[in-house]
Structure 1
């Protein structure tokens, strides 16, 4: 039945029987037969078909959601069995929030690949909220998020501390004026922040609550790189990870504002399921700890 689910998922994602057949190296009639057999087994139609599209109906939505989880668990089961006799190898699905994924993760992957080339990592970069959901659904073997996940559904462990700094464009009056600044002195500034659900946005809101003030104007942007470019262009100030701004500060593209109580600290945490871990996952976690240490 796992093959029927795999064919079903591919048809849904390609929205086309012919394209799914081509990618699966099957004939279109064979794909159609797999779908018919699955629908007969489930007891209802799962797809709405026309000459132009293939779409999920309500029952199909339920089956698709669980099929993805079942296939991910099947892959993990096979990997665990393989691990009994083999070295660390095989696929490894890694997810990370933007700051960690864009500025730290590539270095960890490069280190691991030099020592364990048989591991085949795939990377998904999303905001913290989305990474948590993907780990819950078994779409990821491990998630690396900003902050800490407090529910019992997943195993969460803090692996590193991150310093958050306030940055401004060169020539900004808060950089040139040499007096001791408080967070309240920044209330009139335009703040450029990440979207809701982002760990970086959560850190900024925690800082505002601790400092008992709310910025008069907030611009919400969907990526750290866009925020950095906007700060450099003079659009406003922002709270960003030291990892994300290291090159810009070193090269003099922007400056950090010295404020009482900074740097503001947050954590990076890893999320995994509590069941057995593959050798590939254990190897990656070891490489991650080694790099962060």
Structure 2
């Protein structure tokens, strides 16, 4: 059945029996037999062929959806069994939101690679919603997001606190003030992250908590662009201290001294709802929790 599902998925994705046969390194009659056997076991027609193209029937769409998941789980089962008998190694697919992924994660990966060179990380950077969706879809093994969101299909665990501050250019008129109130910020241009970002979520919560309604908001999709824009004097922003270490050391940005700041938020580990993990994942979990 596993081979039949593999052949079926390949035919669907290649949209052609001969192309699927070439990709699978088997003959086209063999492909036809696998599909016929699968249709017989399902007691349903799964594919329609016309003008050398292949299209799924409604039953075929159902089988394709679950076949992808079954094959993915089968592959993970093999990886886990093999991994049990060996040292930490293999692919580790990690997704992280921008702040953690761009400013903290690289140092952790470098440390892991020093001690466990057979572990091969693959990193995807996205906003909080995107990372959770990819964990749900099993496209990545583990995700790290900013803050917390509700999703019953994944497991979430807070593991590290992050500090956020209001920053301005070193040349900004507020940069030299000993203390700044929110009334000083009413007319400032605020540069914020896009919707779906964990930093955007905590920024809006900060606005609400302090009854701040900015007259002008500029929305950018990258923390790096926001930092460059603030440094250039385009506006001010609310950013993680993890993301601005170099700029503070070089005195290109200044943190405003506002009562009640910095504001804390958690970084959260997002995993699939399973009791089994590879040794590579165990190594990764131990490393991030030690930071």
Paired residues for 1:249-264 under 5 Å? 249-264=248-263
Question: Does 1:235 find its partner at 2:231?
Answer: no
- TM-score, structure 1 normalization: 0.82
Q: Partners of 1:151 and 1:253 in 2: how far apart?
A: 39
Please give the per-residue CA displacement for 1:30-65, whole angstroms capped at 9, x wherever unaligned. Answer: 8975995698476455699889x9998877766555
In structure 2, C-alpha distance between the alignment counterparts of 1:106 and 1:175, rounded to whole Å: 31
On the 8 A contact 2:136/2:154 being kept in 1, the answer is: yes
Q: Indicate conservation of the 8 Å contact 1:113/1:119, yes or no.
A: yes
Q: What is aligned with 1:156?
A: 156
SS of alignment partner, residue 192 of structure 1: strand
RMSD: 3.3
Q: Is residue 186 from structure 1 mapped to residue 185 from structure 2 by the alignment? A: yes
Q: CA deviation at 1:86?
A: 1.5
Pair 1:18–1:191, CA change in 2 (3 A): farther
Task: Tell me the TM-score normalised to structure 2 length.
Answer: 0.83
Note if contact 2:100-2:144 (Cα within 8 Å) is conserved in structure 1.
Answer: yes
Give the SS at the match of 1:139.
coil
State how far apart, in whole Å, the 1-side matches of 2:148 and 2:17 are.
42
Contact 2:47-2:54 within 8 A present in 1 as well: no
Q: 1:236 to 1:161 in 2, by over 3 A?
A: same
Q: Which moved more, 1:73-82 or 1:154-163?
A: 73-82
SS at match of 2:132: helix
Distance 2:197 2:260 in 1: 22
Query: Structure 1 residues 12 and 86, CA, compared in 2 at 3 Å: closer, same or farther?
Result: same
Superposition map of 1:30-49 within 5 A: 40=39, 43-44=44-45
Tell me the distance in 1 between the aligned counterparts of 2:4 and 2:115.
37
Matching of residues 96-245 of structure 1 within 5 Å: 96-176=96-176, 178-245=177-244
Superposition pairs of residues 72-111 of structure 1, within 5 angstroms: 72-111=72-111
Contact 2:199 2:239 survives alignment (8 Å): yes
Once the two structures are superposed, residues 160-193 of structure 1 have per-residue CA deviations (whole angstroms, 9 ceiling, x without a partner) of 11011111122111213x2521234212111111
Aligned residues: 288
- Structure 2: where are the runs of 5+ without partners? none
The alpha-carbon deviation at position 276 of structure 1 amounts to 1.4
Q: Which has the larger radius of gyration?
A: 2
Give the Å deviation of 1:131. 0.8
TM-aligned CA deviation for residue 71 of structure 1: 3.4
